[in-house]
Amino acid sequence: MDFRHEWKHEISPLDLPVLRQRLRAVAQADRHAAGGTYQIRSLYFDTPSDRALREKRNGVSRREKFRIRCYNGDTSVIHLEKKSRIGGLGNKQSAGLSAGEVSALLGGDLSWMPDSGRPLVQELYSKMQTELLRPRTIVDYTREPYVYPAGHVRITLDYDIRTGMNCTDLLNPGITIPAGDAPIILEVKWDAFLPSIIRDAIQLEGRRASSFSKYAQCRIYG
C-alpha cells in the first residue's frame, strides 16, 4: 500500500485569489476540471457510535473511512473509496460502483456485495456486518485542482462545503445546505518530495497545517 504526504490548510476568502494567482503561474490546471473546477459529492459511512467522527476529532493517528463518491452529478461513474491515514501520510483505494448497486445498498440490499469480485466492496460488506458501518451523511463541495509533475504534486482548493445532514440519498440532486461557516481548504499531496516552487507558492502568513475534516464539518447539525 503506497502512502502519500498530505497537508491541509484552512484559508480565508481573501487568501483564495492570492493562491489562485500563484498556482496558475507555477502549476498546471488539472485536465479533469472543465472550466477550472468540478463538483464533488461524497456519502460517508460511520458506525452507530460515530467511530470515524470521534477518531478524527480526537486526532487518532491511524484511522480509515469509507465513502461513495461521484463528480459533477454524473452517476454513470461512481467510486467506492477507502481513505487510510497514518499521521501525515494518506492512501486511497477505489472500486467502481453502478448506480443500481448504490441504490440497492441505500435500500438495505447487500446481497450483491460478497460475490461482487471487488475486494474493496467485499471489505465494506464485511465491515457493514461486523462493525455496523452504515451511510451517514452527504458532503458536497466545489474543487479547484492544480498539478505539478515533479514530486507528483496535486494541489486543491475546496470551497462551498454543503451538508446533507442526515440524508444519505447520493443519487438525489440538490438536498444539501451550507455546512455552517466552513472555511476554504487548501490541500497539498505529494510523493517523495515537495518542490520548493510549490512550497513557496502556498505559503501564507499566519496559516498553519490543520486537520480539518469536511465530514466532521458536515456533522455539525447531528
pLDDT, tens only, 166-176: 899 999 988 99
pLDDT at 138: 97
pTM over 0.85: yes
Among 153, 148, 157, which residue's Cα sits nearest to residue 8?
157
E strand or H helix at 17 = helix 15-26
The pLDDT tens digits of the residues spanning 139-195 come to 999 999 999 999 999 999 999 999 999 899 999 988 999 999 999 999 999 998 999
> Does residue 218 come out as left (phi exceeding 0), alpha (psi in the -120 to 50 range) or beta?
alpha
C-alpha cell belonging to residue 65: 473511512
pLDDT at 209 over 80: no
Residue 88, pLDDT above cutoff 90: no
Average pLDDT over residues 11-18: 94
